[in-house]
Amino acid sequence: MTRHFLTAAILIGLIVALVVATEIIGVRLYTRIALNLCIGLILVLGLQVFMGNSGILSFAHIGFMGIGAYTTAVLTIPARMKGMALPDLYPFLVDVQISPYLGILIGGLMAATVAAAVSYPLMRLSDAAAVITSFALLMVLHTVMTNWSALTNGPRTLFGLPKATDLPMAAGVAILAVIAALAFKESRTGLLLRASRDDEVAAGAMGAHIPHLRWRAFVLSALFAGIGGALWGHFITSFSPRAFYLKETFVILGMLVIGGANTVTGAVIGAFIVTAAFETLRAVEGALNRAQIFSEQVVGLTEVVLAMAMIAVLSLRPGGLFSTREIGTLLLRRARQREDKE
Partner 1 sequence: MTAFIQFVIDVLSLGGAYALMALGLVIVYGILKLVNFAYGELIMVAGYTMYLVSGSGLPWLVMAMVAVMMSILAGIATDYIAFRPVRAKSVTAVLITSFAFSTLLQNAALLFISPRPRNVPLPEVFSNTVEFAGVITPARNLITIATAVVMLTLFAWLMQRTVLGIAMRAAATNFTMARMLGVPANLIISSAFAISGLMAGVVSMLWIGRIGAVVPGIGLEPLLIAFIATVIGGMRSLQGAVLGGFLLAFIDTGLNYTLPQDLLKFRDAFTFSLVILILLWRPQGLLKGPATGQRT
DSSP state of 241: G
Q: Rank residues 2 and 315 by Cβ distance to partner 1 and give the closer one.
A: 315
Residue 158 three-state SS: strand
- 201 contacts partner 1 (rule: CB under 8 A): no
Pairwise CA distance, residues 104 & 264, whole Å: 24
DSSP state of 322: S
Question: Which one of the spans 15-23, 138-146, 167-175, 180-188 is the region binding partner 1 (CB under 8 A)?
Answer: 138-146
For residue 141, the surrounding DSSP H or E stretch is helix 127-147
Q: Count residues near partner 1 (CB under 8 A).
A: 45
41 contact partners, CB below 8 Å, separation of at least 6: 15, 174, 177, 178, 267, 268, 271
Question: Which one of the spans 130-138, 205-213, 269-277, 334-342 is the region binding partner 1 (CB under 8 A)?
Answer: 130-138
Residue 24 CB, nearest distance to partner 1 (Å)?
A: 35
With CB under 8 A as the contact rule, the residue among 137, 181, 182, 227 that binds partner 1 is 137
Question: Which one of the spans 23-31, 134-142, 179-187, 198-206 is the region binding partner 1 (CB under 8 A)?
Answer: 134-142
Question: Which one of the spans 25-33, 91-99, 109-117, 252-260 is the region binding partner 1 (CB under 8 A)?
Answer: 252-260
Residue 258: exposure state from Cβ atoms within 10 A (0-12, 13-18, ≥19): buried
Question: Which one of the spans 120-128, 160-168, 200-208, 225-233 is the region binding partner 1 (CB under 8 A)?
Answer: 120-128
Site string for partner 1, 286-325 (x = CB under 8 A): ----------xxxxxx-xx-xxx-xx--xx--xx------
Pairwise CA distance, residues 267 & 270, whole Å: 5
Q: Rank residues 96 and 284 by Cβ distance to partner 1 and give the closer one.
A: 284
- 241 contacts partner 1 (rule: CB under 8 A): no
Pairwise CA distance, residues 247 & 300, whole Å: 11
Residues in 139-198 that interact with partner 1 by CB under 8 A: 139-140, 143-144, 147
Q: How many CB atoms lie within 10 A of CB 190?
A: 22
Report DSSP letters for 220-240, one per residue.
HHHHHHHHHHHHHHHHH--B-
With CB under 8 A as the contact rule, the residue among 14, 131, 179, 321 that binds partner 1 is 131
CB 60 within 8 A of CB 134: yes
Q: What is the distance between the terminal CA atoms of the chain, rounded to a whole angstrom?
A: 30
Binding-site ranges for partner 1 (CB under 8 A) = 51, 55-57, 121-122, 124-125, 127-129, 131-133, 135-137, 139-140, 143-144, 147, 246, 250, 253-254, 257, 261, 296-301, 303-304, 306-308, 310-311, 314-315, 318-319
